[in-house]
Structure formats: structure tokens, C-alpha cells
Amino acid sequence: MRNTANRHAPHVVITGGAGFIGTNLAAHILAHTDALVTIYDNLSRPGVELNLAWLKTLDASGRLRFVRGDVRNAQRIADAARTADEIYHLAAPSAGTDLFLEPRLDFDVNVTGTVNVLEAARRSGRSPIVLFASTGKVYGAVDSISPMPRATRVEPAIPGFRGVSEAAPIDLHCPSTCTKSVADEYVRDYARLYNLPTVVFRLGCIAGPGQFGNQGQGWVAHFVYSVLAGRRITVYGDGLQVRDVLHVADLVSAVDAARAYVPVVAGKAFNIGGGMSRSVSVNEMIALIGQICHKEVQSGYAPARPGDQPFFVADNTRFSNLTGWMPRRSLEQTVRDVSAFWHANRGSVMRPPEAPRRRSIPRAA
């Protein structure tokens, strides 16, 4: 039941709120604010019912509400967001879905679902903040970087390279990325056309505790869990491809920064990631995981998947300059936190049960 002791407390709605990022964000809001939090989720991702059960254990004051719903249902999301002051739109197609085989599902969730969320915000008359989780994949292969293969990774042929900035041209390489880019544009247009305070985060690789990773999404967690369980890892491509990794707690702090600086970030898109100092190739990550987990890694190689970028590292400069936000946690800490989550929840992580079990997330420093 919702707590009515403070009728002036802000109302936060998180679509996809039972997912990895949504759970960490909701836990942070419950711990550090007096906001009422609505988790809006269709529970289609394996394991997310465990996240929801865990969040309920944190809700001593009755400020958490769960609405089982799909963003494709315009009326249901409008009802859930009718009194929202902040909306964090994190809903995305299920991690188990092959979007190359189901492009209509991808379009309906990413585009139609996002428009439904924006319309819910606009028609509420409350002008809530809407923050949308987009992707750095909208920049495609970033051919202008001309990454060159080295011993353990590809590296840009640009001296002093700081990462991909928002000035990089949009270059859509697959249907899923196309739908994210369309949604990205809608979110920014609603700021311009309807004066709605919207923000877009183009995210790189986010990792940390609470993630049920697989080969399609959450690759760092998938690698860590596989190594700890003694399972073989399949590397698609040569393993030289590079990503930057951002700890989910640092992403949550970026959300806080966006909320605090709404007047200067509204209507804009920002690249949010670990940056060059937290960049790592697939091969380097495998070696790091083996070192931290004290395990021998079993791995093999398969052909590269369509749409995979050979190199993507976000340049956070624009957002950092406007808000003062910077990532704090290292690659090593991220891997350790993912490992700690596996050890605390290995039964649930490896085979999510039908009934929720107790779950713990180690607190990041």
C-alpha cells in the first residue's frame, strides 16, 4: 500500500523497473529520497520477478507500487503515470527475443511504447521529467575512428582520442538500433515541441550487481557467471572489439545529476559510459575475469554477429561539463561486484526459479 504520510512527495515511475538498471535505480530512490516509486513492468525477462521481490523487502514505508503492464498499452501507462513527477523510461524488448526475427515487436516496444510514455507525460499536465535509455549503437561502426588491430584490442588511429562524442553522425546498422534512434528523436522532439523536460542517455555497456546477463545483453555479467560456473564462453568475432564498461551505480548517479540539472540538460542527448579509462576488449575482459575470480577460463570463437561495433567508447565530456558527473568505479570493482552478486545468488542467477527467493545486492562503495 502506498504511504500517504507525505502527500507532497514526488512520484517516480520507472518503466522496465524490474529490470537490471530499473531495480538499482528504484533501490537508490527508496533509500535516498521520500519519493513514491511505481515499478511498471510486464515481467517478461527471466529473473526479474526476483528483483521485484527484493525491492519489496526494502519498502518499509510503503512507498513502492508495482503495476504489471506493457508500454505498448497506451491507456495502462497513462493511468500509471497520471500523477508522475519523474519518468525513467527503461523498458525494452525481452533479452530473450531475437529482434532480427521479430522486428515488429522491436518497433512496437521501442517506438510505439516510447510515444505512449511521452503522451502519458504530456497529457498528464504535470510536465514530468522523462529520461529515456537509448544506446550508443546509434553511431554504428563509427568508421571515422578507423580502429586498428593491436595485440589484444583494436585502437582508434586518432592521437589523444577521448571517445565517441554526440557530434558523431548517426549511422544505423540494424533494425533494433533504428527503432532506438527513432525513439531517441521522439524524446528530444517532445522537449522542443511540447516543452516537456526530456533527456536521452545513449548508453554503452552497463554492468554491476543485480544483472541476469546473457550473450545478447549483459555480456560482462554473462562472462563472469560463466567463468564462476565453469561454463565455456563463446566469443563472437576475434575478441579484439572494445567497449567501455560503466558500473550501474555510476549510471544511477548520472540519473541523479540529470535530475539536479534539468534546466540545462533538457531536450538533449548524452553519451554515458565508462570512457577510455574503463575501456576493455572482449579478450582483455576474459583475462581480467579469470584473474579476479581465480578461475581458468574456457572459451571458443564463433563468427561475428551482424550489427556488432568493432569499437565503442563514450566520451562523457558534454554531460560532465554541464553537471559535474564523473564515473567513480573501476573495471576491477565492477567485476568484483558482479562476482559477489553471483556468489550471493548463484541459484537464482544460473536458473531463475518460478517462485521468488531472497536476493542480495552488495552495496557499492
pLDDT tens for each residue of 321-353: 999 999 999 999 999 999 999 999 876 765 443
What tens digit of pLDDT does each residue of 19-45 get?
A: 999 999 999 999 999 999 999 999 998
Residues of the domain holding 170: 11-350
Query: For residue 104, what is the domain's CATH number?
Result: 3.40.50.720
Residue-level pLDDT at 216: 56
The CA-CA-CA angle for residues 237, 242, 246, to 5°, reads 130
Residue 89 forms part of a structural domain: yes
DSSP-derived letter for residue 169 is P
- Structural domain count of the chain: 1
Residue 57 forms part of a structural domain: yes
CA gap 249, 209 in Å, rounded: 9
Below-50 pLDDT ranges, the chain: 1-5, 96, 351-359, 361-365
Residue 288 forms part of a structural domain: yes
Residue 149 forms part of a structural domain: yes
Residue 126 forms part of a structural domain: yes
Residue 3 forms part of a structural domain: no
Give the list of residues 6+ apart from residue 254 with CB closer than 8 angstroms, or none.
201, 272, 319, 323, 325
Residue-level pLDDT at 176: 85
The CA-CA-CA angle for residues 240, 311, 303, to 5°, reads 50
Residue 358 forms part of a structural domain: no
Residue 258 forms part of a structural domain: yes
Residue type, 294: H
Residue-level pLDDT at 45: 86
Residue-level pLDDT at 4: 41
Residue-level pLDDT at 353: 36
Cell of 169: 553522425
Residue-level pLDDT at 21: 96
The dihedral sign for the CA sequence 267, 269, 273, 276: negative
Nearest one of 228, 252, 219 to 344, comparing CA atoms: 228
